[in-house]
Structure 1
């Protein structure tokens, strides 16, 4: 093999030098501009989707690393981080009540100038956190869902639907969800109260201004118990150990405990049992005994992004999450919806169009999930009371007395300003 000559070596050296300089330029051109930490409840497949549909685009546009932490116990993790002084830059939670507590403690940073709340339909727009603190925006919804829905097989006739709703064993019910078990029960009770008593009473209750022992609240508990068989060892025993995501397996052929109806938010329509069965939806108002005669109201929920550290990177991420195209991309991947008035629904079928219309219709009264809007201590006590009532409906008076004592304590804590327990001023609205 011949050895390279001096001219060849010189040319090679020159090429390497040019490549080295070019490489420095390239490296500098794509240099990362810091990082941002994010905490949310998406794990497994949902975390992979969030990285693909949201994080990847942000990192590509801004050259900012996103250090993501997913946890199914996001509230507990965030509370521990706050106690240790190691909160993430940005956190995503479903509860405005919990976030209001952090804002009350001065832990949240205002999103003024980053988010225009006029872009979002009520109740996801401008939020009133408490007396003297109504001028700032502290969170932005990045996905929304419609509740107040009863799902049933598309082949079911109206008369069959009404008859099934009166049968306790028709309901697909799962109460388990790890550290947050019980919330499917609170969803039931909230929605029943909304349909029976209307949004004015609902708002008084969800904002801490109506006693838990009030007749409307007691009636909502009892109606739920009568509908799903509270106290029935067979029905309740199954519901207590069934995860909310597995409740509809009773729809499948050969199920050990068949069921035909599910009271659940919009996300459930894409669960496998409903895909197999073919879903259709009815407003819960049409099936709840004793529902009011006025126009039916709707319960809604959402995933809310808030900023704990106002770093330049965190500000850029919040602004990115508020963009209509990002909202639409993420909500579609989750089979959810966006509260942004400019956003489109996740699909063109009739169900999706109906849901999107309700979520953004300026004349429709929408009320935020009451337990999510309550202070965390009240929310947790409510979830536990729902489980206890389902198992022992005879203990309802005792459970309501306990909830009323928690309400009084939260009011005292809120007045003292020493804790993060604070009530929202409103949870319902149109527009």
Structure 2
């Protein structure tokens, strides 16, 4: 991991020009055939991907074969080892991709994409983010903002609650909700093989905001021990959010570990409210859209950034996005990646909602479907300290151990020292070069 292009650790996000969305025809003419894609999307996320793919198929005649799995790293490595890789992989984390790229199992994109056009439409940071050891390996087609607290403004108003601007105010609001007999938070951690990752988001957001970017960078690179004061402090801070034995969370420990992450916001919309706040990334609105009845942005839900834990790190945000890479060089795969980089493709994702933020600078803010999504795009653009999702940068073994540690922690916070010691042991081996 040490030789990974350091822009991953030092990037400052440049997102969204304000020019009108232009048209593009970079997918090429009719080439036919099928492109095989491995990804993680199901439900509303898959529906949006299908909508993005329809114009591509219409323009090129290329059919889409999509395989979804939540255990993407393992499935991808198995397919590559068997000599049957997908043409294109859409990966939410790149820890495993780094090892695969260095082993020559991923197709570099430097001569597969029009880099002149890419440089014109993408901020340099997002291009460099896709580089491993100086080679362009992955393409990002959208960004997501993490560290967002969702709430029902009607429920807040009925109780006289105010949106907190500082960490102290957040803690005061949490205490007020408890004293009023309510539950401040909904937390949902179930995600099949990836169960635990929503809690890992809490920890990484706190690490960045509380201890700053240097600690954050050293941590994901494997240079900062999990048992260090700074990382342990982040876990204990999250423990203060959860409360003793999960007392601040609707349904307590059992609800947290058994509830699918996409359903975690349901409690906001109950009457009376089962919880008043829910921390999740910008993409969660695509799951809100699947709730019955469907909540309305701005009326039934609103959002505020998780307040700064330490004002020395004001405006710190964790961002993420699926990394598209070519694991088998085919004309169909090349055409797909060229298309995904266009404003036309990203505009479809943006207009469908779901919290996706375009990276192509030709996508206009006016194309975002509501005031909330526009504001989130602006938050990303205005971010002062931005870091890519640390868990997604860690090696696969480290990431999975991290997720598992989250599940152990929420069920028994008193075991934190042992949990962190085990993570140190994993860290000692997970970063070894392939």
TM-score by length of 1: 0.80
2:421 matches 1:401? yes
Alpha-carbon separation, structure 2, partners of 1:378 and 1:152? 32
Alpha-carbon separation, structure 1, partners of 2:124 and 2:380? 9
Aligned to 2:49: 50
TM-score by length of 2: 0.79
Alpha-carbon separation, structure 1, partners of 2:305 and 2:331? 44
How far does residue 87 in structure 1 lie from its aligned partner after superposition? 0.7
Q: Is the 8 A contact 1:123 1:368 kept in 2?
A: no
- Mapping 1:56-71, distance limit 5 Å: 56-71=54-69
After superposition, the C-alpha distances for 1:336-384 in whole angstroms (9 at most, x for unaligned) are: 11122222345253322221123234x6321111111111111000000
Indicate the SS of the match to 1:379.
helix
Q: Is the 8 A contact 2:188 2:257 kept in 1?
A: yes
Alignment counterpart, residue 377 of structure 2, candidates 345, 348, 356: 356
Q: 1:222 to 1:316 in 2, by over 3 A?
A: same
Alpha-carbon separation, structure 2, partners of 1:285 and 1:106? 42
2:140 matches 1:124? no
- Mapping 1:312-331, distance limit 5 Å: 312-331=331-350
In structure 1, the gaps of 5 or more residues are: 1-29, 420-431
Q: 1:39 to 1:355 in 2, by over 3 A?
A: same
Aligned to 1:176: 190
Aligned to 2:263: 246
2:186 matches 1:164? no
Q: 1:350 to 1:333 in 2, by over 3 A?
A: closer
2:37 matches 1:35? no
How far does residue 68 in structure 1 lie from its aligned partner after superposition? 2.3
Alignment counterpart, residue 200 of structure 2, candidates 170, 180, 186: 186
How far does residue 115 in structure 1 lie from its aligned partner after superposition? 5.6
Indicate the SS of the match to 1:37.
strand
Alpha-carbon separation, structure 2, partners of 1:383 and 1:122? 31
Alignment counterpart, residue 266 of structure 1, candidates 278, 282, 285: 282
- Mapping 1:31-430, distance limit 5 Å: 33-51=32-50, 53-113=51-111, 114=113, 116=115, 118=119, 119-121=121-123, 124-127=126-129, 134-155=133-154, 156=156, 159=162, 161=164, 162=170, 163-166=172-175, 169-229=183-243, 231-232=245-246, 235-254=252-271, 258-269=274-285, 271=288, 272=291, 275=296, 278-286=300-308, 288=309, 291-335=310-354, 336-345=356-365, 346-347=367-368, 349-361=370-382, 364-411=384-431, 413-414=432-433, 419=434
Alpha-carbon separation, structure 1, partners of 2:31 and 2:375? 43
Indicate the SS of the match to 1:80.
helix
In structure 2, the gaps of 5 or more residues are: 1-28, 165-169
How far does residue 94 in structure 1 lie from its aligned partner after superposition? 0.7
RMSD over aligned CA atoms reads 2.5
Q: Is the 8 A contact 1:123 1:366 kept in 2?
A: no
After superposition, the C-alpha distances for 1:268-289 in whole angstroms (9 at most, x for unaligned) are: 2451475386222222124x4x
Question: How many residue pairs end up in the alignment?
Answer: 376
How far does residue 128 in structure 1 lie from its aligned partner after superposition? 7.2
Q: Which has more radius of gyration? A: 1
Indicate the SS of the match to 1:38.
strand
Alpha-carbon separation, structure 2, partners of 1:340 and 1:410? 34
Alpha-carbon separation, structure 1, partners of 2:64 and 2:285? 31
Q: 1:378 to 1:115 in 2, by over 3 A?
A: farther
